[in-house]
Amino acid sequence: MKQRRQAGTRSGAGPSLVSFTAMNARPALLLMTLALGSPAAEAPQPKVVLPERLGFTTPAPFPDIKTAYVLGSESASETYVIRVRLKAGGRVPAHTHPDTRYSTVLSGTLYVGFGTLASETRVTAVPAGAVYVAPANVPHYLWARDGEVVYQEAGVGPTGTKVQGAAP
């Protein structure tokens, strides 16, 4: 007795890949088209924050700086980014933050010292393009000795600033 082969099969091996693909190509293409055309499949767009849209303010305890939140906020439990302008010759007295801060100097040279008392002889120069880290609750102070400095700080909130020697 001769066995008859069904169309699209290999001697009893079941449907061939070619016939399986051909049978399911239309529904698969339809599903892909629906998925790609749906709003859920759209790629996210980058969030661009332009510098001219930043709203700078001068925090009460620090008359030599202007700050603007680029992303996030001081009170939220999220990542934040702050842009800071420290005027030429300006100083920020010893202070702490409850979170670790990562600061990138964008222009100028920032002089940073660690400790509760500011000392001009115990500072480290942080040039434009460099990053310094201020660990959580470690007192540090800043100085724009050579001219205006612009830097950007990032951390995870909620955050705040406590000036050393200030009332709790």
* Pairwise pLDDT comparison (167 vs 125), residue with the higher score: 125
Q: Is residue 153 a part of any domain in this protein?
A: yes
Is residue 43 packed enough to be buried (19+ CB in 10 Å), middle (13-18) or exposed (0-12)? Answer: exposed
What mean pLDDT, rounded, does the chain reach? 85
Residue 70, domain member (yes or no): yes
Residue 11 has pLDDT above 70, yes or no: no
Q: 121-134 pLDDT, tens per residue? A: 999 999 999 999 99
The answer to the question of residue 131 being in a domain is yes
CA 121 to CA 143: how far, in whole Å? 12
Share of the chain above pLDDT 90, in %: 70
Residue 119 has pLDDT above 70, yes or no: yes
Residue 32: its pLDDT value, please?
54
Q: Residue 13 pLDDT more than 90?
A: no
- Give domain status of residue 22, yes or no: no
User: Whole domain around residue 95: which residue ranges?
Assistant: 51-163
Take residue 152 and report the two structure tokens written for it.
């950007």
Q: Name which residue leads in pLDDT, 8 or 166.
A: 166
Host H or E run for residue 37:
helix 17-37
User: Looking at residue 165, what is its pLDDT?
Assistant: 73
pLDDT tens track for 27-71: 555 555 555 555 566 899 999 999 999 999 999 889 999 999 999
Residue 89 in any domain: the answer is yes
Lowest model confidence (mean pLDDT) among 81-85, 144-148, 161-165: 161-165
- Total domains in the chain come to 1
Q: Which helix (H) or strand (E) holds 86?
A: strand 79-86
Q: What is the CATH number of the domain that holds 105?
A: 2.60.120.10
Q: What is the CA radius of gyration of the chain?
A: 30
**Residue with tokens 């120069």, as numbered in its chain:** 125
Q: Are 65 and 113 in contact (CB under 8 A)?
A: no
Q: Which residue has the higher pLDDT, 11 or 61?
A: 61
In a domain, 5, yes or no: no
Does some domain include residue 9? no
Identify whether 2 is part of a domain.
Answer: no
